[in-house]
Structure 1
């Protein structure tokens, strides 16, 4: 017995079930966590090491290679990439996607622990992190105004504490501002005059800035805890600390050093629309409701704004909740539109009641789908929303077939309503099930999409399959039951059509019948014609140059501008480049926010994020409100191209890269050519030759390489033999040199609940001259000061600013974006031809990665998935018809449908 028969005979139960589905579905829709992207954990683990003041080449030999040698023994590592920079090393480990990240993380920690004996002893322990899409910020809260960075930072710290108190917030991180520091600026000449060395100053501060426990003491019947508090209570207190006593006179720190309550060296700039700012980067926990979190944060911001001075503003930028609101609204609009269209179409053929019965399949299927989606722990993200919209048109297919057949049994064959519902449903039940099964079969292979792309896009087949199965349940259980209640019986006797005529068909159907009859008379000719058109369409598409692309070229909500100045450029000059770019951006309309960050990736780098006005609010040229002298484009792609050309032409002395803000899984640049080898100089020559040869290719924009040479170095060469004769070693000498230039942390100063570093360092004016560094005095084992110049010499050279490895081999990457209107695959094909013409030395190879690599993997998988889907569909059809020929005939419709696919792509000029 079919389930539809049971449901028809138990109407009350089904009606209660409908109420339950509505309640749990509405509740699931309201409470379902919403986020921009699917919450996936990437199979990436990063090992970050910091060793301040160390050159890239030394970082490579001292830190990166020892770690790589241990990490290479890990199994299931797909690729290991490293970058050695000034003072830091980053190693990225990409694991296979089926690896448990917690297990991999522990294995990486174990290998790093094994490598620690080979690392410099004065280096901090490496930091190990995993990556998740939850690490992407959901918004930036930007505090700006002309009140000084200190006040802005204070406001940001207060906001940070409130935001982190919001349920679901993972972290609120302050970016920008100034950080307080207590600095002991010692004078080398005064130290020499008193016969002192820096280590004595350091030890004095450390010994007099700590709380020492004194144990416990029993006095009578009471027990007391003894302690000797000696923490510094004020920065001025450091002045009066005694370093030594000579000739009966104390030598105070104030005699040899100046105490400054100041700020750490500025290593970043942050602005919003050209105004100094401090930002709070907000991330959420996995699976939490983004819209609720964003709303609570905005309420906190609104309350805080009421207490701030007029010249201070708090702005929320890069707000993902706005995008989610838009996508959810699109889904709701599509559902309403679908309901109306179904009502109109079905009303014209089956009447209003039947149209209502069919249309109800949409909300019931959607609500049931929301409940299942929530039960499986899936969030409502843009992939799921797109999938629901994709499935929306298929939700009524089953209901239409069943309602129409019940209606026919009841009105044409004059069967009682209950019997008509049972027999009408039974008659088409297996075809309906088979039809749904064939559609589900088409999506099942996509569940096995490999790699990060599969983790990201796997939500599409899951959601579509859930929606289709929900619609099948509704069609087999709810629709027959409601039909058995609400289909209206006809009171007129059926009319027999005249012979040779069928008045139930309208002019459209009669025209179709004549065309079908004609086609059947010349069936072989028409088959040949259709297959010829298919071949013609395939040929036309291949010749159109449209090609294939990973994701559609959509209008960006945000544009990113990245500036890369030559190595050795200080942060002030880089900030000047960024300021010039901001000035140029002011020429363009439809821009909502311009957020500038300088120094995040080094003193010679800057990034500007341009938030565009919402699409429906953008103004085109000559529209009202565009007479302010700015340049307006309705399409943000046009704005991007114009900004790119303007910035490249105007900013001289820095590389400019203008691109869309990345959405979806990370896939790399459209053109990404890796050059692998051993000698960096040879790699650089090959990269330069390739760039020169391809720079004039049509479609190539933002061409650059990641070879960064020319970092100025002043080498202090230690005479190890002479140092040994004086009982000195290179480690001690290097430590004091590093401390003089970058500072040595010698303690902490506490003020309330806040903690600040106490740092010993040479004054800035003495650090500007290398000869002052050479006058540093190093104590020998007896305490006698030895000038650095007596055991070392100086020389000036130029070194690499960053050294990159892939699987322990050095690599230089040439990359570029593709201009609007050009297909990335065709441009890459031209790049390949030119690269193949370059004679490479033995041991040097090109590898094409980035978006191309991901696209090749996806195309290979999709080809297999298509074959498997066709086989699954054929299996379902063979099972249904118990025939080979009939499914073969049906499957030709799948093949011939590509006529419309390729024709549509050619007509719309879409790849």
Structure 2
């Protein structure tokens, strides 16, 4: 190329010429490819985007106070104090006899540590909101966030007739210790099973005979069940810590407690607690029930549902850990514990594995991404040729690889939204490379220049419009990144990943595509056929003329254009009418075909847990008749392990005899015809009717396809 041609080139042509024969160009391409492989290996796989929703519950005890007193003296002043903090979006409160619970929800994106420090400092600095010596206890702050949602839940049950929730709970607590050692785990919690207590049953006649009062026993228990440091002794060049007292270890220690002295003079002897009471250890009075229901095939071939006492272990992961890796490690550890910590007769049902679902969705979307890329390559092959298709395909791969690395560097995970952003933008990402390759192809077909001379000119001709089109698309997508609320960070991978991909595709089109075209198109034939057309234009021209000629030429051209305008308007109104007739449902996001849904039961206040369990069993009798249901877990008096939806709706605070949950697990979506939403809608009328008969509220809750809200309306 002579100096005059070089001076006439614009920015695009000069960039293409600079890298056209440079040896650094293939090295840059190799680095881009390796960065993409690195990002694919290290980026955590999640089912949903990890939205930083900082929430905290503040528990303020006020022993002995009524709900009205707690509300007036504690809840209202505490709300006013907490509302002073910046960055808070909502403050909710629940008042109970003897307890005020405040839920503080910060705006999305607030730093978790800084937010909790501000909350604690504000509460500590305003301790004088209640009069001194009123009896209000110290506040307790319990933070909650996205990483508190369990990624794995395991339901343990046994088919032995003598199996009890108490024995299962002991096994579960032993498993907790082992699972906590798995790298990446954060919190391991057991749902169900009674508390272990030492029960002291007083005998009034023995108390009277030994002249011991209940106050004496209470005082002795409080004074003895304590341990405190009492200094240290130095002996033999070593310091020995001295402690006074010790805590009770078991029921025998409690039974041997001295509660008084009987007799006079030399005949005095101690009175033990076992002398005036019966001391036993074991399960406390049940305040919650958990059971597991599954279909069992009988010897005669019939299938029936059987229920077993159960406990559920839920495990959450640490921030930034790969959900798939942690879930796989947990399941491997559970397999190792079988036959040792886990007895052979104890069954374990995997009722949640978000690691598997995250990997499944990520792999599915990656397959669709590959399919979309191959479709584009096939289209270019059919229209321009196989060498041009190879150039476009390599450019797309480099663009996607670099975009994945940029997404990882930005802090995104591999989830269905971030991968959807790449699939959504694949048609836009290839435009730059296709435009450049097509114009190089056209210049070679015209002839007159060597390939190394034609490429910079061809790139320069389309460079300006390509740059303008790229930034136009970015300008259309990027404002979505500034949406506030939960929807903003949930959908932010789409505008950010797509915008990054557009910038990277432009760089690849101007730097790498000309270099590869120079390598692959040098020996290709680009002769102009008779008629002056090349490629597939000759085949498309007759069809184009047949459609457009009646609209542009002839006596009826004007009338034909008006008919086209009218038909277009009618088509637009018909499309709008589809939504009005509800033939097409307008939604923000499509329903997600999950393998689970939840039934939430709220009985009238004061209902005992036994009655709640009975109603849950009645609800389960409806659910288990659904052919797509594999099993279910019922939770009476306690909440089921929460999901992201339950985190925002604070289902983790659900406890008490009047509350219950039913966790329903379905067949994998590949093995059933109906979607989970259709199944949930089908069972809802029967479940609601049972609730009406018992004066209860029954809600069928699905995991939403997008960010959860407190209520849809």
| TM-score bucket (shorter structure) | 0.7 to 0.9
1:543 matches 2:556 = no
1:645 matches 2:685 = yes
| Distance 1:277-1:32 versus aligned 2 partners, 3 A rule | same
Distance in 2 of aligned mates of 1:237 and 1:490: 93
**CA contact 1:556–1:636 (8 Å) conserved in 2:** yes
- Specify the alignment match of 1:132 in structure 2: 145
| Distance 1:62-1:311 versus aligned 2 partners, 3 A rule | farther
Q: Indicate which of 576, 580, 595 corresponds to 2:633.
A: 595
Q: Indicate which of 358, 363, 370 corresponds to 1:336.
A: 370
- Specify the alignment match of 1:532 in structure 2: 569
- Specify the alignment match of 1:89 in structure 2: 100
Give CA deviations for 1:475-534 in whole Å, capped at 9, x if unaligned. Answer: 221111111100154457534428xx9996345432223433443455774785477347
What are the equivalent positions in structure 2 for 1:156-167 lying under 5 Å apart?
Answer: 156-167=172-183
Residue 296 of structure 1: how far off its partner (Å): 0.6
SS in 2 for 1:42: coil
Distance in 2 of aligned mates of 1:542 and 1:180: 59
| Distance 1:185-1:467 versus aligned 2 partners, 3 A rule | farther
**CA contact 2:372–2:423 (8 Å) conserved in 1:** no
| Distance 1:315-1:54 versus aligned 2 partners, 3 A rule | farther
SS in 2 for 1:25: helix
Distance in 2 of aligned mates of 1:59 and 1:646: 39
Residue 404 of structure 1: how far off its partner (Å): 1.0
SS in 2 for 1:80: strand
Higher mean C-alpha deviation, range 238-247 or range 350-359: 238-247
- Specify the alignment match of 1:896 in structure 2: none
**CA contact 1:411–1:489 (8 Å) conserved in 2:** no
Residue 287 of structure 1: how far off its partner (Å): 1.6
SS in 2 for 1:460: helix
- Specify the alignment match of 1:814 in structure 2: none
Higher mean C-alpha deviation, range 269-278 or range 25-34: 269-278
Higher mean C-alpha deviation, range 454-463 or range 239-248: 239-248
What are the equivalent positions in structure 2 for 1:278-317 lying under 5 Å apart?
Answer: 278-307=311-340, 308-317=342-351
What are the equivalent positions in structure 2 for 1:45-84 lying under 5 Å apart?
Answer: 45-50=56-61, 55-84=66-95
Q: Indicate which of 97, 108, 130 corresponds to 2:119.
A: 108
| Distance 1:105-1:163 versus aligned 2 partners, 3 A rule | same
Residue 344 of structure 1: how far off its partner (Å): 2.4
Distance in 1 of aligned mates of 2:236 and 2:108: 68
Residue 190 of structure 1: how far off its partner (Å): 5.4
What are the equivalent positions in structure 2 for 1:806-845 lying under 5 Å apart?
Answer: none
**CA contact 1:142–1:316 (8 Å) conserved in 2:** yes
What are the equivalent positions in structure 2 for 1:419-498 lying under 5 Å apart?
Answer: 419-491=453-525, 494-497=528-531
Distance in 2 of aligned mates of 1:468 and 1:670: 35
Higher mean C-alpha deviation, range 331-340 or range 515-524: 515-524
Distance in 2 of aligned mates of 1:556 and 1:225: 58
- Specify the alignment match of 2:216 in structure 1: 200
Structure 2: runs of 5+ lacking an equivalent: 1-10, 294-306, 639-653
Distance in 1 of aligned mates of 2:711 and 2:241: 64
Distance in 1 of aligned mates of 2:66 and 2:230: 45
**CA contact 2:194–2:288 (8 Å) conserved in 1:** no
Q: Indicate which of 524, 536, 547 corresponds to 1:515.
A: 547
Q: Indicate which of 16, 24, 30 corresponds to 1:13.
A: 24
| Distance 1:224-1:472 versus aligned 2 partners, 3 A rule | closer
Distance in 1 of aligned mates of 2:87 and 2:525: 73
SS in 2 for 1:666: coil
Residue 142 of structure 1: how far off its partner (Å): 1.9
Aligned-residue CA RMSD in angstroms?
3.0
SS in 2 for 1:360: helix
- Specify the alignment match of 1:658 in structure 2: 700
Residue 131 of structure 1: how far off its partner (Å): 3.3
Distance in 2 of aligned mates of 1:549 and 1:51: 46
Distance in 2 of aligned mates of 1:339 and 1:222: 73
Distance in 2 of aligned mates of 1:297 and 1:390: 34
Distance in 2 of aligned mates of 1:424 and 1:164: 62
| Distance 1:78-1:224 versus aligned 2 partners, 3 A rule | closer
Residue 243 of structure 1: how far off its partner (Å): 2.4
| Distance 1:188-1:445 versus aligned 2 partners, 3 A rule | farther
**CA contact 1:519–1:526 (8 Å) conserved in 2:** no
- Specify the alignment match of 1:259 in structure 2: 279
SS in 1 for 2:543: helix
What are the equivalent positions in structure 2 for 1:217-228 lying under 5 Å apart?
Answer: 217=233, 226-228=242-244
TM-score (ref. length: structure 1): 0.67
**CA contact 2:444–2:526 (8 Å) conserved in 1:** no
- Specify the alignment match of 1:571 in structure 2: 609
Give CA deviations for 1:699-744 in whole Å, capped at 9, x if unaligned. Answer: xxxxxxxxxxxxxxxxxxxxxxxxxxxxxxxxxxxxxxxxxxxxxx
Distance in 2 of aligned mates of 1:317 and 1:658: 18
SS in 1 for 2:171: helix
**CA contact 1:301–1:314 (8 Å) conserved in 2:** no
Residue 182 of structure 1: how far off its partner (Å): 2.0
- Specify the alignment match of 1:697 in structure 2: none
Q: Indicate which of 110, 132, 156 corresponds to 1:143.
A: 156
Residue 185 of structure 1: how far off its partner (Å): 3.5
**CA contact 1:41–1:131 (8 Å) conserved in 2:** no
Give CA deviations for 1:862-911 in whole Å, capped at 9, x if unaligned. Answer: xxxxxxxxxxxxxxxxxxxxxxxxxxxxxxxxxxxxxxxxxxxxxxxxxx
**CA contact 1:66–1:115 (8 Å) conserved in 2:** no
Higher mean C-alpha deviation, range 34-43 or range 281-290: 34-43
SS in 1 for 2:635: strand
| Distance 1:437-1:112 versus aligned 2 partners, 3 A rule | same
| Distance 1:126-1:503 versus aligned 2 partners, 3 A rule | closer
**CA contact 1:137–1:284 (8 Å) conserved in 2:** yes
SS in 1 for 2:183: coil
Q: Indicate which of 610, 614, 619 corresponds to 2:664.
A: 610
Distance in 2 of aligned mates of 1:351 and 1:209: 86
- Specify the alignment match of 1:269 in structure 2: 289
In the alignment of these two chains, the number of paired residues is 654
Residue 234 of structure 1: how far off its partner (Å): 4.2
Residue 65 of structure 1: how far off its partner (Å): 2.6
Residue 189 of structure 1: how far off its partner (Å): 6.5
| Distance 1:90-1:188 versus aligned 2 partners, 3 A rule | farther
Residue 81 of structure 1: how far off its partner (Å): 1.6
Q: Indicate which of 635, 639, 661 corresponds to 2:675.
A: 635
SS in 2 for 1:396: helix
Distance in 2 of aligned mates of 1:420 and 1:483: 11
**CA contact 2:88–2:105 (8 Å) conserved in 1:** yes
Distance in 2 of aligned mates of 1:222 and 1:397: 79
Residue 264 of structure 1: how far off its partner (Å): 3.1
Higher mean C-alpha deviation, range 567-576 or range 325-334: 325-334
1:365 matches 2:399 = yes
- Specify the alignment match of 1:719 in structure 2: none
**CA contact 2:441–2:526 (8 Å) conserved in 1:** no
Give CA deviations for 1:762-791 in whole Å, capped at 9, x if unaligned. Answer: xxxxxxxxxxxxxxxxxxxxxxxxxxxxxx
Distance in 1 of aligned mates of 2:591 and 2:107: 29
Give CA deviations for 1:115-171 in whole Å, capped at 9, x if unaligned. Answer: 477288666533223332222111202222143223322322232222222222111
Residue 197 of structure 1: how far off its partner (Å): 4.0
| Distance 1:381-1:539 versus aligned 2 partners, 3 A rule | closer
**CA contact 2:387–2:520 (8 Å) conserved in 1:** yes
- Specify the alignment match of 2:599 in structure 1: 561
Distance in 1 of aligned mates of 2:74 and 2:284: 26
Give CA deviations for 1:307-338 in whole Å, capped at 9, x if unaligned. Answer: 44332112222211222122222222213312
